[in-house]
Structure 1
Amino acid sequence: MEWLSGVLDAEGYEVGRQILQRGVAAIYLLAFISAINQFPALLGENGLLPAPRFIERAGKRAGPTLFRWRYSDRMLLTVCWVGAGIAALIVIGIPQTGPPWLPLLAFLVLWGLYLSIVNIGQVFYGFGWESLLLEAGFLVAFLGSNEVAPPLLVLLAIRWLVFRLEFGAGMIKMRGDRSWRDLTALYYHHETQPMPNPASRFFHLLPKPLHRMEVAGNHFTQLVVPFFLFAPQPVAGVAAVIIIVTQGWLVISGNFAWLNWITIVLTFGAVPDSFYEAVGFTIAPTYETTPIWFAAVVVLMAIFIAYLSWQPLRNLFAKRQLMNASFNRFHLVNAYGAFGSVTKVRYEVIIEGTKDNVEHDGAASSHWEEYGFRGKPGDPGRMPRQYAPYHLRLDWLMWFLALGSDGGWFTPLLVKLLQADPKILKLLRHDPFGGEPPRYVRARIFRYRFTTREEKRTTGLWWMREEAGTLVDPVSLKGGQPR
């Protein structure tokens, strides 16, 4: 039966395997740290959308989770610290030095732990890159250890994931918004994306012909290049490099959590060792014969993935293509896509508080102080920051709130601010009341735009803003509830 393992082996992808295993584990490490820092405040026992209440209401519909019968913040933190520890061990390469079953087990544990979190994360974990991380962790589990050659079927499954990720994003753009089809999408997108970074304003102010070239290049990379991932080498490697460069462009122009970073990591799985050898690196790994049991496990995994691929394949070419959808409870072989429509005007919800008596003095004459968020625009003079691949979940939800999507968490947020809840305040950049509760809070809507070069020189501001309306009139607490 040695011929079976020989057929399934893919020698010449050792560097790709190392990048895949360590890179995906690094994203898991970041995801668990993010949950440690944010989950208790957002979804914990006393969070904005308490997980225990959701579990009780959803029951089995929540999907597989370790918290099905019991949730506590302490248990959540234990799960996160265990996951972070295992991920850190993989990043430094310890499980990979053992037999093939060791990294297999390590990644499947990471996948199961994070699946337990995502399935109770509600709207705060409703992002496509959560499913992407879960699917990536499951597939990378079957890459084996340093003892055996990388399995060919696993590398092909990872290319199939990158194909769906890229081609799905390209198709959703072509179907979703005319601005992608007429090449004008980037006239707006750098300014209106969920969380701009320090370079976003520079990209927004580029000449419009360059924006059109950016969009055309994006279409080529997402709609044409992915097919060549399945071509013989060196064509597949060249296609992978094109995707990696394009994703790097997105990394330096915006904050999209770990979406671009994990895409880069996964695409390295199609870059052969010969590319590194061509620039002077020496790569000469030695492998033992792949155990039959491991080859059989890889074949079963490939059959399972092929079985689950039918619906996602149909979705790619469906008239009503689903974006960032899971077709099973395990978040495997998902549908992906991003920004099927482009927001052309940026609105921001600004939350303010006051210690004045609004009922006595009136809202207009009261002194209002603005709460500052870490990533989303607020203070017009503050330069946008770089946070990706770290995911600021509350900031992202504030962007969706400005688009008209609440999800039931915003009123609880105002209550927490009126209570000066320390866990919520810790998620903010600036609390104008120094940990003390305000008497009233309100939420106003502003239209934001990047300053022109001339405006930046004369004012020093990054943004210009003008009031566009009121989302929530001044409210205070009465009996623990806003009134």
Structure 2
Amino acid sequence: MEWAAWLDAPEYEFARQVLQRGIAALYFVAFLSSLNQFPALLGERGLLPVPDFLAGVSRLGRPTLFRWHYSDRLFRGVCWTGLAVSGTLIAGLPQAGPPWLPLLAFLALWWLYMSIVNVGQTFYGFGWEMLLLEAGFIAAFLGSDQTPPPRTILIMLAWLVFRLEFGAGMIKIRGGREWRDLTALYYHHETQPMPGPLSRQAHLLPRRVHRMEVLGNHFAQLVVPFFLFAPQPLASAAAGIIIFTQLWLVATGNFAWLNWMAVVLAFAAISDPVAHALVPAIPADWGPAGAASTPLWWLVVILAVTVLLVALSYRPVENLFSRHQLMNASFNRWQLGNTYGAFGTVTKRRIEIVVEGTFAEDPDDDAGWREYGFRGKPGDVRRLPRQWAPYHLRLDWLMWFLPLRTVHEEWFYAFLARLLTADRPTLRLLRLDPFDGGCPRWVRARACLYRFATRAEFRETGQRWIRTSLYMAIPPVSLPPED
């Protein structure tokens, strides 16, 4: 079947290796993050317990293994299974067998993680969750070392990068004026959800550099993605620009695995000859000798899933060109063919919710309040922000959203209650417990304005942040007295 030879892309073997192992590595991080945080956030005694959530919905619209039963033990089994399967894919073990072996491995990761996301409620309401799911599903059809990389699946992965980048670009153009007048980066590095160790230095760059950053962002998201489908070496050059811009975002912030996934997916457009020209250690003809042709049954599978993915692309395309463009939305229960986007508007001021407790009986301002320390969220004004991505600190991210929405969230009141009882799983989510395991008598939440210190202020005070108290978000609360 000479016509079918076009579906084989042996010149993209290096891309397949990066895609399979890279996506598997991000699944590994996602399962590890869930294993460490999910029980305290959503487990049987979590802030938003999954059993209560399942009991409160008459019909759960999305599939999950936990539909009929949830327990922390079962959840940990799911995570450990996901870690084991993703570990074998990182090592390349399933890829050494027939193509159905990595197919089953990636579909297992997709199903297991989807089971977690679909009961994760607000703690799993991030765009990179559906991005990981969609990438894992498509990667399942990349085949194994015994078959050439399938061209249509590589195109579908490039199409996923296109939706991710172009969708983000369009949401910015349609969003806040700051993206159109090139001032967005005057604020973004300082007000982004979780700054990294270089965010302050990026914020202090001259304003003309920030305007160039915004122009570069528009070029990378609105122009470059179209060239992912151009002939080589243009496609590889487009992928390289996307990778470079995403690594800049990695260096200046913490966005879980969003940027790393974009980096990995961009390799779908990089051919072996181009990779070899840039890094001679990469073979120009990587493909194994045993991958001379594609079996008919595998060809049928590839064509069928390609047709499915193309059909599911109708709604995302429609959304991209809609005046009412949705950001990070799924149009089906399997979370395939999604639409993506981020930061349609940029927050101009950084307001942080500072959580404090005291042993004192009278919770006045002189009660000796002590501040809880979070792992990634700014708190201590002298502390250098840490680099966490691609690891995802879910509690810290939700803390950033509180002043933008309302502090009167169910999970936040549950969190304060756990602090009053010195709940060990909850305290393990934090960097600092100022009471060393003791139970405070009162806790409260204050809203404070944070801004990065100038270089002169840092030299004078040693502070990386300048903090100004604004208002009492939640007055002192305590547990009701025991009978």
Band of TM-score, shorter chain: over 0.9
Q: Residues of 2 paired with 1:392 and 1:95: CA distance?
A: 30
- For residue 394 of structure 1, what is the aligned residue in structure 2? 395
Q: Deviations over 1:188-232 (max 9, x none)?
A: 000000000000000000000000000000000000010111111
| Counterpart among 289, 301, 305 of residue 301 in structure 1 | 305
**Residues 49/479 of structure 1: CA separation in 2 closer, same or farther (3 Å cut):** farther
**Mapping of residues 41-52 of structure 1, within 5 Å:** 41-52=40-51
Q: Residues of 1 paired with 2:275 and 2:345: CA distance?
A: 39
| Counterpart among 274, 286, 289 of residue 293 in structure 2 | 289
Matched to 2:415, the amino acid is L
How many residues align? The count is 477
Matched to 2:312, the amino acid is L
Give the superposition deviation at 1:405.
4.0
Give the superposition deviation at 1:480.
7.9
- For residue 233 of structure 2, what is the aligned residue in structure 1? 234
Q: Deviations over 1:219-266 (max 9, x none)?
A: 000000101111111111111101010101101010011000010000
Q: Residues of 2 paired with 1:74 and 1:479: CA distance?
A: 33
Q: Residues of 1 paired with 2:131 and 2:277: CA distance?
A: 32
Q: Which moved more, 1:60-69 or 1:76-85?
A: 60-69
Q: Residues of 1 paired with 2:355 and 2:210: CA distance?
A: 33
Q: Residues of 2 paired with 1:364 and 1:220: CA distance?
A: 51
- For residue 329 of structure 1, what is the aligned residue in structure 2? 333
Unaligned runs of 5+ in 1: none
- For residue 78 of structure 1, what is the aligned residue in structure 2? 77
- For residue 199 of structure 1, what is the aligned residue in structure 2? 198
**Mapping of residues 325-474 of structure 1, within 5 Å:** 325-358=329-362, 362-406=363-407, 407-474=409-476
Structure 1's consecutive aligned runs of 4 or more residues displaced over 6 angstroms after TM superposition are: none
Q: Which moved more, 1:21-30 or 1:50-59?
A: 50-59
**Contact conserved, 1:55 with 1:62, CA < 8 A, in 2?**
no
Report the secondary structure of 2:335's partner residue. coil
Give the superposition deviation at 1:58.
2.3
Give the superposition deviation at 1:6.
1.7
Unaligned runs of 5+ in 2: none
**Residues 68/260 of structure 1: CA separation in 2 closer, same or farther (3 Å cut):** same
**Mapping of residues 148-227 of structure 1, within 5 Å:** 148-227=147-226
Report the secondary structure of 2:445's partner residue. strand
Give the superposition deviation at 1:479.
5.5
Q: Residues of 2 paired with 1:168 and 1:174: CA distance?
A: 10
Q: Residues of 1 paired with 2:160 and 2:481: CA distance?
A: 51
Q: Residues of 2 paired with 1:295 and 1:370: CA distance?
A: 60
Q: Residues of 2 paired with 1:127 and 1:111: CA distance?
A: 16
Q: Deviations over 1:293-322 (max 9, x none)?
A: 111111110111111111110100111110
**Residues 317/288 of structure 1: CA separation in 2 closer, same or farther (3 Å cut):** same
**Contact conserved, 1:326 with 1:334, CA < 8 A, in 2?**
yes
Q: Residues of 2 paired with 1:5 and 1:405: CA distance?
A: 56
Give the superposition deviation at 1:409.
0.7
Q: Residues of 2 paired with 1:225 and 1:87: CA distance?
A: 31
Q: Residues of 2 paired with 1:5 and 1:82: CA distance?
A: 37
Give the superposition deviation at 1:7.
2.5
Q: Residues of 2 paired with 1:120 and 1:240: CA distance?
A: 35
Give the superposition deviation at 1:408.
2.1
Q: Residues of 2 paired with 1:453 and 1:236: CA distance?
A: 42
**Contact conserved, 1:190 with 1:203, CA < 8 A, in 2?**
yes
**Contact conserved, 1:131 with 1:334, CA < 8 A, in 2?**
yes
Report the secondary structure of 1:351's partner residue. strand
Give the superposition deviation at 1:62.
4.3
**Contact conserved, 1:4 with 1:295, CA < 8 A, in 2?**
no
**Residues 97/283 of structure 1: CA separation in 2 closer, same or farther (3 Å cut):** farther
Report the secondary structure of 1:353's partner residue. strand
Give the superposition deviation at 1:404.
2.3
**Contact conserved, 1:325 with 1:334, CA < 8 A, in 2?**
yes
Matched to 2:462, the amino acid is G
Q: Residues of 1 paired with 2:265 and 2:155: CA distance?
A: 11
Report the secondary structure of 2:473's partner residue. strand
TM-score by length of 2: 0.97
Matched to 1:335, the amino acid is T
Q: Residues of 2 paired with 1:480 and 1:259: CA distance?
A: 46
Q: Residues of 2 paired with 1:112 and 1:208: CA distance?
A: 46
